[in-house]
Each structure stands twice: as structure tokens, then as C-alpha cells.
Amino acid sequence: MLAGELYLADDPEIAADALRSALLNETFNATSAGEPEARRTALAELLGEVGEGTEIRPPLRVDYGHRITVGPRTFVNFGAVFLDVARITIGADVQMGPNVQLLTPAHPIDPEPRRAKWEAAQPITIGDNVWLGGGVIVCPGVSIGENTVVGAGAVVTKDLPANVVAVGNPARVIRKIGEAEEERPTAP
């Protein structure tokens, strides 16, 4: 499974890992905003690595959790879904709008193996200082380069380079960051 090869999800070891994650996910999602330390502890138990100063707002849904690393100072808004059958690596200073989905699982196109419940997965990598707008979906095997901005509702099916703005379904690069355009508000 971790090598990206076909596997059956009803394997007892995988099922036990999924149950562990589901219970930790419930704990994290039940934490109170008034108890930031309890929330941080639950998140640290659920995920493989959580950088300092990172905030992830519940509800959060993950498959296993321990295959997810999140860099420091990252912010993930409400309703994120991170299906970590394969590794998910999120860099430092990443911003994610509500309802972002990072989806590593893949299923066979051929109907027979799919009917037999075979699955596979490919890792996802989100570079430092990336901004994913609300509702962005990142598909299996995708890497997004540092500083890239992905517009709300985009579906990212292929790698995106660093320092670009991408929008649409499927997401496509519309410009490099720093090219002349009528910029929206920027910091002084």
C-alpha cells in the first residue's frame, strides 16, 4: 500500500489502523475551542507530525493520520479531508481555506479489479507558503511548488510549479506570481 501498489483495504492490520485513526479523529473533532492545549495534544496523537504554531480547525477527517506531516505556522480551515493512504506532506506557512481535500487513494479504471475492491495510492506534497483556496481538491500523486496559489474550487490533477497562480477544473496555471496584473490587497 505504501509503495503505491494495489492492496485490499479490508486487511485486518489496515482495518485496525483505520479504527485507531477514527477514534483519534473523533477525539480531535470533539475538542473545545476554549481548550487549545487539549486540541493540540489530540492533533499531535492523530497526525504524524505537526509543526509549531500550526492550527487545524475541526472538523478534520483523515484515513490514518500518521502518514501526514504538517510544517510550522500552517493554517487549515474547517472541514479539511486528508485521505492519507499514501504520505501527505504539507510544508511550512501553508494556508488552506475551508473544505480542502487532499486525496491520495486511487482506484483501478478497469471494472473487475475495482469490483474486487483493489485500491492504490500516490503521495501528495504541498510546498512551503502555498495557499489553497476554499474547496480545492488535490488528486493522488500531485506536488504543488512553494508560494503557489490555487484558486477556490480548483481540482488539481497534475503537478503545479512554484510561484504560480492556478485555477479551474482541471487546475491550470494562469500566471506567474509577480507578473503585472491588477493585484488585490497586498501587505505594505
Catalytic residues: 107
β-bridge pairing 124-126 and 75-76: unpaired
CA-closest candidate to residue 104, choices 73, 118, 83 = 83
The residues, any chain, with a CB within 8 Å of residue 156's CB and separated by 6 or more, are 136, 137, 138, 139, 142, 144, 150, 166, 170, 171
Q: How many Cβ atoms from other residues are within 10 Å of residue 158's Cβ?
A: 12
Specify the DSSP class assigned to residue 137. E
At CA 113, angle to CA 108 and CA 114, rounded to 5? 60
